[in-house]
Chains A and B, each alone.
Chain A
Amino acid sequence: MHVNRLSSLFAIPDWSLEHTHLRLILLILGILLLLSVVFGVSLGPVSISMADVWRIAIYKIGLIERGDWSIGSENIVWLIRFPRVMLALVVGGGLAVVGVTLQALVRNPLADSYILGISSGASVGAVLAIGLGVFTFAGSLAVQLGGFLGALVAFAIVFALANIRGRIAPGKLILSGIGVGYVFTGITSFITLTSSNKELAEQILSWTLGSLARASWFDLTLPSLILLLGTTYLILQSRNMNALAVGDETATTLGLNVEKVRRQLFILTSLITGVVVAVSGTIGFIGLIVPHIVRLFVRSDHRRVLPISLFVGSIFLIWVDVIARTAFAPIELPVGVITSILGGPLFILILLRVRRGGKGNIL
């Protein structure tokens, strides 16, 4: 191979620097995430000083002796606010990563687990577990197992509907997602309204709106674990996702076993969506908003979009939840209400922009 004379010139920037940039961006986002957790835990309707909040946290980890704070403060901080902020972190990151993956998988930036009806499917599974006691063999993980299976079923149906002889018709995909979403939301309502359990009905209402209010340390374990392992795997697949985003034929000729990769991503996104929905309900549009904003800054290379979206999703949902529980205090809004108010218009905006720009064919 002959040595390229041009590339040795100053005039051409060193694009390999982008790796350094990515590390720097992730470092900054990591710090921002930490600060968001700090503020998120400190803010709430009951005012507790930031110093106390952190002394309680450090005491709970076992590093210092108990101080002179009240039991009430201790419980609020440790049993309510911390799990809640951590849940926002996990759910926000999870939904963002799922959004990125789905968009590559179906080659459409309008995809999101909420829009494609996958979240609604997960809801049905979770509600079946709570309301009718299905999946009791899974013990305390029944709800999350239900969520996963529901997500998988919904995704499979949407995918089958949009698949025309091996090619996914993007317009059909969105419409199938909306249709399947309606049916599953209907089933959730049906189970709720015909159930004799009044508490269940209330629980499920907050579900369909998407809420982080019932956060507990126990509920966090499985989603955290799955998000961690799942995201690691997805990041390893991000080079393949680039090829997949261009097209199935291109991906095949670049050496991908498209069916296999697709199947893996399919199961993994269902798994993450399922456990996330099981603990937080259907919080919409995070998977749409976050990757879209991230792409505006770093473009489409999934090796950047995926890890950055993970952090941005976490930070974003922590702050949306802070707004949800403080802006209209003492009334608390389900966080899904706010994400929908923000996300719906953005969905329309992307739709208009892409149509006007005429790049690709989304619908």
Chain B
Amino acid sequence: MPLTQDEVEEIRKILGREPTVEELAMFEAQWSEHCSYKSSRLLLKLLPTEGMHVVVGPGRDAPAVRLFKDFAIVFKIESHNHPSAVDPYDGAATGIGGIVRDILTLGAKPVALLDMLYMGEPWDPHANWLIRGIVKGISDYGNRIGVPTVAGDTWFDYAFNTQPLVNVACVGIVPLNRLVLGSIRPGDYIIIMGNATGRDGLLGSSFASKPLAEDTDKEIGAVQVGDPLTEKLLIDALQILVSRRLVKYIKDLGGGGLTTAISETCADHGLGAAIELEKLHIRQKLTPLELLVSESQERMLVVVEPVKLSEVEEILRNYDVMYSVIGRFTEDGVIKVFCNGVKVAEVPAKELARPRAVRRVSHPPAEALKGLKPLYSLPPEPSYEEALTKLLSSPNIASKRWIYEQYDHEVGVRTVVKPGLGDAAVLRLLDGSSRGFAIKGDANPRYTSIDPFNGAANSVAECFRNLVAVGAKPIAIVDELNAGNPEKPEHFWYFEMMLKGLAWMAEELRLPVVGGKVSFYNEDHRGRQVKPTTTIVGVGRVKDVSRAVTMDLKESDSVIAVVGVTYPELGGSEYLYKVFGLEEGEIPRPRPASELRNAKLILKAVELGLVNAVHDISVGGFAVALAEMAILGNLGVEVDLDLVHARGVMRLDELLFSETQARYVVEVKSNRVEEFKRLAQRMGVCISLAGRVLDKPVLILLKGSKTILSADLGLLRDSYNSLEKAIEGGA
């Protein structure tokens, strides 16, 4: 996105003269929305970012949180929405590459990837092409770099048919005393390692900071091809450099390329730099301007003190990593760029790195009212079995096996709870102890499009519950806000409300938001925003991974308990959309107090070994959660709905399919039921002992003595496993 007239004027003031073309390009790259957060920075201050465990908060390429007293976890989320819409395979692949490099900058070892994909409907031919390309891109890149893709989130929706949201996250672990925090001094060397710089991806960040053009076929300049082999070599070489304490600081060359990496590093340390561009290793002959802003992938900046330079060079050569020493840091706070002895740019680092923030106009559109409208006259109730089958086969609920089986989710031998079986993935540290962590990503684009404040709050809550359900104590989150055009007040309102909902719920649940990203301009070619979406990735602490809990039912005769109260909250539900075609109504209320209380019970019950299985209730409601547990455990279940605590419920479908927050389904061991009951009582948590596990493959719902639904588990499983057919037999 070109600089505005005001911005050019400001640059003149900063420099006290006319800028050179190179300088203009540097400002354009650095001041793009993608790199500078100029539209969002003022509002982002609302987020709670501090906490006991936070070691590195927002500001660096990635944050770090203390997981145990001697171990930190580094995790971060990123979007690659625009590149993936144009070239789904390479767009998604390079998204993985970028997020992994962010994790490397603190010296951490990347041990897990997540992908949160909000895509079109599998039966739409263009969306189907995008879905296959995106998943294959992540598969080919993630698998090749040897980092397991262990969890994620998906949503299939017509709103994303041409503009998908591809959000990816990476998790790294590092002993606390190995964190690379940086203490650069003037005279230290600047090394660029990894791929040679080329013309690929010129001004890609500016590309991500504007809506897709009608004829995207012409956007060739911004398409980048991933090179996972080079990325893997970077990962391995950095592990060696960090373990031998040879580098002082690491930074990714991402959006804005060399310009952003150098200006931010200088600005953060109050330093300047002298750069000799002709020393940069290149793929093809480029102008100084192109060298400064090229976003060629798989490149990183490392800072090395003079006495260690030769050792670093030897390691890079031995491990087949290309590199060049392009300059040194200076005291004066000014970035001077030379090419073959000719000065092409001279810019103060601080002013370049931080453009003035913009407070955008925000205004609710008329459409926003649909989230305030109570549902008072629903169509008559359908057959429950038909409704349940429809929901289980909905791509938003069905098993994601077609996706996660294409990912190596086991490399690293850390994955204890694997995809498809738990509400979150659980990994061990593999340090000789039984310690580990849980990780999960969540969003509900329908909620945030109907009610951005409460929808975003619910994303935080769902992520929180998913971590709790496997027995992990949630400790921190990162967020990705996918929004429309910030220059349009009716788009910006959604961004503002999502941010406020996220800030509120994170504070209530005591989860610091340690990092995040903002993606604007998610519009289709007609200028309509796609469903604004708040994606949350959270980590939880697991003291003993061998006690982590999955959701599959384990043994017959154990007892089914529902934790939490059910309210008539069908607004924005999958049921309402799949069965009646409605996307409206008040979405489920966020219930932070209940979330905290109920989570405490679950964690205690897991710790005491009272439960065999836990599953949080989310999309699809109670009936779907129960069916999933039965299908995965291959054990039947019988529940009396009269025993399930509910308030204000007038119809059975409200009980079965409401997506009321703060609820779980729990399989309690048959000989520990009394203990579980007493524990709940003591903690003031409402539980309903409503059924039991059967040893025959059938799901039975009763209302007192009356059978409401009796479905064969095999048939339900067929519906649940129908995603592969929807995609492979799709277009």
> Do the two chains bind?
no
Q: A residues touching B (Cβ–Cβ < 8 Å)? A: none
